[in-house]
Structure 1
Amino acid sequence: MDNSEIDILISKFLDNEATEEEESFLLQWIQVPENRLYLEEYVRTEIWIKYSLNASQVEKQLSTLSIYPERNRRRRFNPLALAALFVLFLGLGSFIYWSLRPTSIQTWDTNTLTLEINDNGISKFYSLESDLNLPTTGGLMTIEKDSLLRYYFSDAPFNESANTVYHTVHVPYGKTFKVQLEDGSLVHLNAGSKLTYPHSFNGFHLREVSLIGEAYFNITSDSIPFQVFTDGISTKVLGTSFNVSAYKDEVLREVVLVEGKVEVSANQNRAPSKVSKTIIPNQRATFLNEDKDLSVSNVDPTDYIAWTEGELVFSNEGIDQIIKKLERKFNVDIDNNYEKLSTQRFNGKFRDENVTAILETIRAHTNFSYSLNGNTLVIKEP
Structure 2
Amino acid sequence: MSITKNDLARRDKTYTVIQDDHIKQLLERYINDLSTEEERLQLLDIIDSRPEVDWYALLAPAFTEAGADKGFTPEKWQPVLDTILKYPPVEKTTRVVPLFRRWWSVAAMLAILLGAGWWFYRSGNTKVAPPVLAMADIPPGSNRAVLTLANGQEITLDSAHGNIVQHGNFKVNNDSGMLNYEGKANVAEYHTLSTPRGGQYKLQLPDGTNVWLNAASSISYPTAFTGRKRDVAITGEVYFEVAKDPGKPFNVQVNQMNITVLGTHFNINAYSDEPDAKTTLLEGAVKVSAGNQMKILAPGQQAQLEKNNTLSVIENVNVEDIIAWKNGYTVFENADIRTIMRQVSRWYNVDVVFEGNIPQRQFAGGISRKSSLAELLKVLEFANVNFVVEGKKIVVKP
Return the TM-score normalized by structure 1: 0.63
Choose the corresponding residue for 1:115, options 147, 152, 162: 147
Corresponding residue for 1:127?
Answer: 156
- CA drift at 1:291: 4.4
Say if 2:226 is the partner of 1:194: no
2:358 touches 2:397 (CA, 8 Å); kept in 1?
no
| Separation in 2, partners of 1:354, 1:344 | 24
Correspondences of 1:201-240 after superposition (within 5 Å): 201=225, 203-223=226-246, 224-240=248-264
Change (3 A) 1:194 1:361: same
Corresponding residue for 1:83?
Answer: none
1:211 touches 1:229 (CA, 8 Å); kept in 2?
yes
| Separation in 2, partners of 1:137, 1:293 | 46
- CA drift at 1:379: 2.0
Report the secondary structure of 1:334's partner residue. Answer: strand
Correspondences of 1:225-374 after superposition (within 5 Å): 225-266=249-290, 273-341=291-359, 343-351=360-368, 352-368=370-386, 370-374=387-391
What is the number of equivalent residue pairs in this alignment?
252
Report the secondary structure of 1:307's partner residue. Answer: helix
Q: Deviations over 1:308-354 (max 9, x none)?
A: 1110001000111111100111111111214234x111111211432
Corresponding residue for 2:175?
Answer: 144
| Separation in 1, partners of 2:377, 2:236 | 24
| 4+ residue segments displaced more than 6 Å | none
1:285 touches 1:297 (CA, 8 Å); kept in 2?
no
1:275 touches 1:294 (CA, 8 Å); kept in 2?
no
1:242 touches 1:256 (CA, 8 Å); kept in 2?
yes
Change (3 A) 1:301 1:136: farther
Change (3 A) 1:336 1:126: same
- CA drift at 1:138: 5.6
2:144 touches 2:201 (CA, 8 Å); kept in 1?
no
Gaps of 5+ in 1: 1-110, 267-272
| Separation in 2, partners of 1:132, 1:292 | 45
Q: Deviations over 1:159-212 (max 9, x none)?
A: 6xx4x31000110111210010000000000000011000111x2111010000
Q: Deviations over 1:5-24 (max 9, x none)?
A: xxxxxxxxxxxxxxxxxxxx
Larger RCO (CA under 8 A, 6+ residues apart) = 2
Change (3 A) 1:265 1:338: same
Correspondences of 1:49-198 after superposition (within 5 Å): 113-118=145-150, 122-129=151-158, 130-133=160-163, 134-136=165-167, 139-145=170-176, 147-154=177-184, 162=187, 164-198=188-222
Change (3 A) 1:330 1:136: farther
| Separation in 1, partners of 2:320, 2:236 | 19
Among the aligned pairs, what percent are the same residue?
Answer: 31
| Separation in 2, partners of 1:213, 1:340 | 26
- CA drift at 1:113: 1.7
| Separation in 2, partners of 1:137, 1:315 | 49
2:239 touches 2:267 (CA, 8 Å); kept in 1?
yes
2:301 touches 2:313 (CA, 8 Å); kept in 1?
no
| Separation in 1, partners of 2:314, 2:235 | 21
1:276 touches 1:294 (CA, 8 Å); kept in 2?
no
Paired amino acid for 2:376: I
| Separation in 1, partners of 2:233, 2:168 | 21
Q: Deviations over 1:249-269 (max 9, x none)?
A: 223100111110110111xxx
Report the secondary structure of 2:380's partner residue. Answer: helix
Q: How large is the Cα RMSD of the aligned pairs?
A: 1.9
| Separation in 2, partners of 1:241, 1:302 | 13
Change (3 A) 1:373 1:365: closer
- CA drift at 1:289: 2.2
Paired amino acid for 1:116: T
1:230 touches 1:246 (CA, 8 Å); kept in 2?
yes
1:174 touches 1:328 (CA, 8 Å); kept in 2?
yes
Structure having the higher Rg: 1
Query: Which stretch of the first structure deviates more once superposed, 192-201 or 353-362?
Result: 353-362
1:128 touches 1:143 (CA, 8 Å); kept in 2?
yes
Paired amino acid for 2:234: L
1:371 touches 1:378 (CA, 8 Å); kept in 2?
yes
- CA drift at 1:372: 2.0
Change (3 A) 1:174 1:367: closer
Paired amino acid for 1:144: D
